[in-house]
Amino acid sequence: MKKERVKLTAAEKSELFAEGVITVVLLLLLNLSIVILIYLTILQNQNLVNGIYFLKKTITFAGGRHLWSWQNTFLIMMGIADLIVLYWRLIRRYHQMQLRHVISELHYIAQGHFDHTISFKVKTDLQKVIDSINSLVASTVNAINEEKAIERSKDELISNVSHDIRTPLTSIIGYLGLLKSGVADPKDQQKYLDIAYMKAEQMKSLAHDLLDYTTLKSTSTKLSLTSLHIFSMLEQVAAGFEFEAHEKGITFSIETRPKELTIQADPEKLVRVYNNLITNALKYGKGATQIKLIANLVNNNEVELRVENNGAPIPSSSLKKIFERFYRVEPSRNTETGGTGLGLSITKSIVELHHGTISCESGADWTSFIICLPLNPKNAKING
């Protein structure tokens, strides 16, 4: 924002002018009285006249010039003193006016215009006050925006959850209604039961994810850290998906460098991270044949954990959003994959609880989820 000087109102300009005129008049009167007083004193004292004459003779400037005349010199000095006093009075009054402007701007802000910043600049310490007010305004605006965002996201959460509950519930009620009323064709009955059951399962997983999500978001969630041998954990996690992967013709590969890589982490939560990422790779990796679980020691403090799958990539426009809660790349929120859009948000929350970061890269061949974790989250907390 361009900063301007304080713009004085017409009344203030007149006030400043009046102050100037009064000061000049007072100074002239003062000067006159001083001059008269000095004249009287000097004229009554012949010694002083002689002394001044002697002084004038002895004071010589460059080029041998003498003092011009003591009266004129004295008058010039008095004139300079007058100008200084005049300037000091006017600038003092001007600063008072600046302060008045700042106070009236403060009143304006206090009336509820919390996004109003003071746009003028001054050359005194008042600028520090103005800067503090402006930064206070900026942080108030941020706080208000954050509050609004939280409010919006709560509304969004409620509306998404209501939608995700209502849709399967409508199907369940519909199919159960058909079965209850006895109008359903007996050969369709099993199909209706299956659909109702599947929808109920979907609701259960939503409730489950939602609970996990809100628990992880709560500030009181604690990690129970233990020493975790990554290779053994990855072997166990992969074994849990062996059947599903085999059905889809997908093979797992596990690589940890060094082989005995061990980190401090919450095992239950980290397994949840892997479960989410591997489920996604199996569910969304269209045409995938391979899932790689890789863990590398980056340096003395950090490890990089990667879950990679080949197959159809994630569109680059979606990459930034996939960690947002309820975001799904699939256009419909109720495709046959049946996700809640909370999986990656939960994953991200767990990683962040460990003071780590997660990102995703997706190219023509591979989609990779890359997690950076501190070797020991406790140290990361102290350092960070």
Q: Which residues are at the interface with ligand ADP (CB under 6 A)?
A: 276, 280-281, 284-285, 309, 314, 322, 327-330, 339-344, 367
Tokens in use for 316? 């680059």
Cβ at position 344, least distance to ligand ADP in Å: 3
Nearer to ligand ADP, 188 or 324 (CB): 324
Q: Which is nearer to ligand ADP, 101 or 269 (CB)?
A: 269
Nearest C-alpha neighbor of 306 from the set 250, 254, 375:
254
- What are 361's strand-pairing partners? 368
Cα–Cα dist 32/25, whole Å: 11
**In the complex, what is the shortest distance from the CB of residue 325 to ligand ADP, in angstroms, rounded to a whole number?**
8
Question: Which whole-number Å values give the CA distances from 281 to 29, 293, 310, in the listed order?
Answer: 94, 11, 9
Nearer Cβ to ligand ADP (168/285): 285
What are 173's two structure tokens? 């009620």
Q: Which is nearer to ligand ADP, 102 or 314 (CB)?
A: 314
The structure tokens 């919450």 sit at 266
Helix, strand, or coil (residue 223): coil
Q: For strands 226-229 and 262-265, give the pairing.
A: antiparallel
Cβ closest to ligand ADP, residue 339 vs residue 374: 339
Tell me the C-alpha distance between 216 and 220, whole Å.
Answer: 9
Any residues with CB less than 8 A from the CB of 275 and at least 6 apart, and which? 237, 240
For ligand ADP, give the closer residue by CB, 134 or 318.
318
**Residue, CB closest to ligand ADP:** 339
| Nearer of residues 171 and 367 to ligand ADP, judged by Cβ | 367
Tokens of 12: 């203030």
Pick between residue 120 and residue 327 the one whose CB is nearest to ligand ADP: 327
Single-letter residue type at 279: T
Of 51 and 315, CB closest to ligand ADP: 315
CB-facing half-sphere around the CA of 155: CA atoms within 13 A: 6
Nearest approach in angstroms of CB 363 to ligand ADP is 12
If you write DSSP's letter for every residue of 244-310 in order, what string do you get?
Answer: HHHHTT-EEEEEEESTT-EEEE-HHHHHHHHHHHHHHHHHH-TT--EEEEEEEE-SSSEEEEEEEEE
Contacts of 378 (CB under 8 A, 6+ apart): 225, 264
Residue pair 215/349 in contact by the 8 Å Cβ criterion: no
Q: How far is the CB of 319 from ligand ADP (least distance, A)?
A: 9
Residue 4 pairs with which residues in a beta bridge? Answer: 120
What is the closest distance, in whole angstroms, from the C-beta atom of residue 99 to ligand ADP in the complex? 56
Distance CA 194, CA 204 (A): 15
Q: Least separation, in Å, of the C-beta of 302 and ligand ADP?
A: 23
Q: How many angstroms separate the CA atoms of 257 and 253, rounded?
A: 13
| Dist CA 25 CA 29 (whole Å) | 6
Shortest Cβ 265–ligand ADP spacing (Å) = 20
What is the closest distance, in whole angstroms, from the C-beta atom of residue 234 to ligand ADP in the complex? 17
DSSP lists the bridge partners of residue 148 as: none
Q: What is the smallest separation between the CB atom of 277 and ligand ADP, expressed in angstroms? A: 7
- Closer by beta carbon to ligand ADP, 121 or else 272: 272
State the minimum distance, in angstroms, from the CB of residue 326 to ligand ADP.
Answer: 8
